[in-house]
Amino acid sequence: MAGHSHWARIKHKKAVVDKRRGKLWSKLARHIIMAAKSGGGNPSENLSLRYAIDRARAANMPNDTIDRAIKRGTGDMEGVTYQEIVYEGYAPGGVAVMVEALTDNVNRTAPEIRNIFEKNGGNLGSTNCVAWQFKKKGVIIVSDVSEEELMEAALEAGAEDVQPDGDVFEVLTDPSSFEPVREALTARKLNIQNAELSMISDVRVPLEAEAADRVMKMIDALEDNDDVQEVHTNMEVK
């Protein structure tokens, strides 16, 4: 289902984190604000907030910055009001793209996203033009383990599937099983490289390296936009 590009995408994103650390913290703070706003400021009772805080800490965001974002979300501190928007369209090669954004000005963000699509050979579509093919899944990347050992541990904990992805494995879960599976793999001291909730498509579009590079260029441009939180595609690199 996840194809052989998810781990490559994660590694690519990690490679540019240092260049964009200030921008990354801003994006993560927005995510914390929205999670706290919708579910409260207690991470033990608000799983979305817990995930948002985990991601922020993984990016070395200072605790006081995290605390301020939570307080803005709960209304204990004044701050900007953000709106969640999903943009959908196609990248070169017919690759489906979903863009999750948090913006304080839709009239600014929409034309910026459209411009990025068009400049990179894609086109922005209407609501649900590609969303129908994506489902939210937990994706846990594990390395330095045998497929047999990982399969036993993951499926026993409630995972849906385990797939090889180059020199690592992808463990796929239902969102409700994501945390129990991650905790079970952590308890076994397995080497978890990355763990996140993502939108995964059942319909894969295989691309050769050159075509995939064009799509990655568009993804980079989208992720460089201050309002963009996540970019999901159904690209699979051959």
Could you tell me if residue 85 is left (phi over 0), alpha (psi between -120 and 50 degrees) or otherwise beta? beta
Whether 153 and 182 map to the same domain: the answer is: yes
Whether 103 and 210 map to the same domain: the answer is: yes
Whether 208 and 152 map to the same domain: the answer is: no
Whether 148 and 125 map to the same domain: the answer is: no
Q: What is the pLDDT of residue 1?
A: 36
The string of pLDDT tens digits covering residues 12-57 is 666 555 556 668 888 899 999 999 999 999 999 998 899 899 989 9
Whether 106 and 155 map to the same domain: the answer is: no
Q: Which amino acid is residue 3, in one-letter code?
A: G
Whether 12 and 118 map to the same domain: the answer is: no
Q: Which amino acid is residue 95, in one-letter code?
A: V
Mean residue pLDDT of the chain comes to 89
What's the full length of the chain, in residues?
238
Cα–Cα distances in Å, from 77 out to 17, 26, 44, 59, 173? 28, 17, 21, 23, 36
96 within domain boundaries: yes
The token pair that represents 180 in the structure block: 């129990």
Whether 113 and 169 map to the same domain: the answer is: no
Looking at the whole model, is its pTM more than 0.75? yes
Structural domains counted in the chain: 3
Whether 22 and 57 map to the same domain: the answer is: yes
Looking up residue 45, the CATH number of its domain turns out to be 1.10.10.200
Whether 41 and 151 map to the same domain: the answer is: no
